[in-house]
Structure 1
């Protein structure tokens, strides 16, 4: 029902928009892999195969030119700050009236980030955001691929780099994040992405 409601609001708010609804991050990633970009991706955080913001990271990696809007019932300041820190184009609480959701979608479509006013930010999220901000664009892409669970060889193939270049980026990422391996890098991102599976 939520998916149908959002589809209707998006088609009404965004002139000429068509919608495609899926029920999991895996389905969304599969669709993103087949297209150059979407006009906008509306992402519910409560999908069966999502863990924290892992779905956002996966979709950013697969569709880097598509603005991603988090649409969720979880409206905590920490959730809002995490979405902003990870590069979401907006954060829309499901509790908003449909006309307000439509207005926010129009603003995001016009290139204006749209986030609710938030309470005092969580210092762990601010620290994780600072670590991400210190990365170069190439390092950021490698980190997104790392968060998606890819090996160095897979990352190299997916973003058209040599394995040596990926390893060099990995070393720079570890240095800038103050960690010494992949697991520690993922743990450093935990305030943004949710718990790391053991």
Structure 2
């Protein structure tokens, strides 16, 4: 699928076999404009990968690719900054249309999903997305560590910062998210960014 996309788009397409590789690609190549993000690629947990990219690389456009067509997951993906949501069953000509629309500054969804989502309320998703947007990249990393159950000392080691710095970030995170403790922050993060896949197996096609 990657080879077909590359040939059809007549442009260089870089591969990333895991989310960690994808982040390295983005960090080392400022020319990347668009990312196809597989929700089920190794290292990507639900919508956390999407929000990580949008937080650390706000100028990079993201097209989410998944076999998951749950309306709630799609609605949250779009609320959290995806420019398009492309089911893996989408014919190649439609994928090309999605790319063209996104590069032109528009969002894109298959017509049947657009119709299904048109009357679906997503106020809570949008509010959470707004709150996440208030976090600095470092605060976002701390939040992910909190959600993974790490203590301040462990977070400081992971991010190579002082523990007092971590405590300052935690205080700011709680204030911006409107929660009273780190447990609530972690639960909110996991609940909002989960995207239960149809099979929970590693995807065969990653971008």
TM-score range, shorter chain: 0.7 to 0.9
Matched, 1:188 2:172: no
What is the count of residue pairs matched by the alignment? 180
TM-score normalised over the length of structure 2: 0.71
Does structure 2 conserve the Cα–Cα contact (< 8 Å) formed by 1:39 and 1:66? yes
TM-score normalised over the length of structure 1: 0.74
The gaps in structure 2 that reach 5 residues or longer are 147-154, 196-207
* Distance change in 2, residues 1:21/1:111 (3 Å): same
Distance 1:43 1:115 in 2: 15
Matched, 1:103 2:97: yes
The gaps in structure 1 that reach 5 residues or longer are 158-162
CA RMSD of aligned residues (A): 3.0
How far is 1:87 from its partner?
Answer: 0.9
Distance 2:79 2:104 in 1: 20
* Distance change in 2, residues 1:63/1:134 (3 Å): closer
Q: Secondary structure at the match of 1:33?
A: helix
Does structure 2 conserve the Cα–Cα contact (< 8 Å) formed by 1:23 and 1:47? yes
How far is 1:89 from its partner?
Answer: 1.7
Matched, 1:146 2:142: yes
Q: CA offsets, 1:46-94, max 9 Å, x none?
A: 1122211122233334433211110111112111111112111211122
Q: Which residue of 1 aligns with 2:15?
A: 21
* Distance change in 2, residues 1:194/1:74 (3 Å): same
Does structure 2 conserve the Cα–Cα contact (< 8 Å) formed by 1:80 and 1:115? no
